[in-house]
């Protein structure tokens, strides 16, 4: 099986690469590339994202044909794709970080700044927090409800269709921390920084 981690210059993704390689060992071939043909021929794709919504979308768009290739992979051929952090946020139609920016439009919704209730809650939301699993998700196999995951974000994804939400976390309000829609999976938290449970989620994705 070939799994591609999309490297589109969106910040440091070394911990994502290391975690996937640790879980895959020799059973799965992990490629880190933005080569369109390699992405097309992959069995699964991982879309990481660090920094702002706008900077990640801009970085994707800078690589000629990359968004079209990802659209084809996830929407036309319906192959499994996992978005992490801003990688998940980019599934939205639109994001409002820095300036209004068009997303990939895979899961209808928008990305807004977390309401910190007049500074009652610190932003970014950083550190370990419990997740509330609200629907059975293939990537939560062997993960108990109320498990702790690691977060770093100031913006949240608000999908139009609440049925895509697979888990939430309580921080200022009910924040979406993972989604699942057919072959498309996303986590707002960082599985690669969430210790053994995060590695289990990566394993679950690789085992799909």
d(CA 80, CA 86): 18
Residue 112 pairs with which residues in a beta bridge?
156
d(CA 38, CA 98): 32
d(CA 132, CA 152): 17
Site of tokens 């108990």: 144
- Residues with catalytic annotation? 85, 190, 192
């Amino acid at each position: 099986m070939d799994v591609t981690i999309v490297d589109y210059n969106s910040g440091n993704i070394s911990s994502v690469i290391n975690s996937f390689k640790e879980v895959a060992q020799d059973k799965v071939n992990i490629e880190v590339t933005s080569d369109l043909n390699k992405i097309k021929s992959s069995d699964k794709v991982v879309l990481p994202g660090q920094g702002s919504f706008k900077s990640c979308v801009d970085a994707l768009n800078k690589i000629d044909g990359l968004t079209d290739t990802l659209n084809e992979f996830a929407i036309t051929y319906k192959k499994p794709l996992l978005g992490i952090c801003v990688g998940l946020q980019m599934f939205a139609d639109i994001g409002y970080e820095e300036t209004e920016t068009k997303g990939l439009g895979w899961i209808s919704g928008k990305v807004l700044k977390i309401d910190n209730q007049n500074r009652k809650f610190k932003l970014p939301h950083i550190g370990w927090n419990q997740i509330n699993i609200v629907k059975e998700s293939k990537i939560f196999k062997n993960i108990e409800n109320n498990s702790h995951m690691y977060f770093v974000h100031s913006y949240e994804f608000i999908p139009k269709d609440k049925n895509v939400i697979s888990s939430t976390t309580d921080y200022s309000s009910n924040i979406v921390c993972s989604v699942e829609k057919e072959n498309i999976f996303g986590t707002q938290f960082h599985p690669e920084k969430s210790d053994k449970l995060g590695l289990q989620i990566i394993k679950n994705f690789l085992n799909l």
